[in-house]
Amino acid sequence: MRNRLKVLRAERDWSQAELGERLDVSRQAINAIETGKYDPSLPLAFRIARLFNLPIEEIFDDGSRPD
């Protein structure tokens, strides 16, 4: 699943470790999500969406959204 986490994080000038602390997950978890190697659970996806004040679908894209 593709996502905009890296872009959103860079816009706020946060490191992966900082974002991990804000979301209460490890830096490795943030890296795995950003690189698409791990898809977060629904609760974590909601926490990410609330942190960036965006709807989930504006952060995560499963590739099935109509253009």
Partner 1 sequence: MTDRAQTDASKPLSRNRVMAGSSLAVAVVVGALLIARLAGVIPAPQEMSALGAIVTCVLGAASVVGFSAWYFARTDEHDLHANLWAMAWSWIASGVGTSCWVVLHAAGLAPVPDAVAILLGSSVVALATWVWLRFR
- Of 5-13, 36-44, 51-59, the window that binds partner 1 (rule: CB under 8 A) is 36-44
Contacts of residue 3, defined as CB under 8 A and 6 or more positions apart, other chains included, come to 33, 34, 36, 59, 60, 61
Positions in 45-64 near partner 1 (CB under 8 A): none
- Residue closer to partner 1 by CB (options 41, 64) is 41
**Which residues form the interface with partner 1 (CB under 8 A)?**
20-21, 24-29, 32-33, 37-38, 40-41, 44
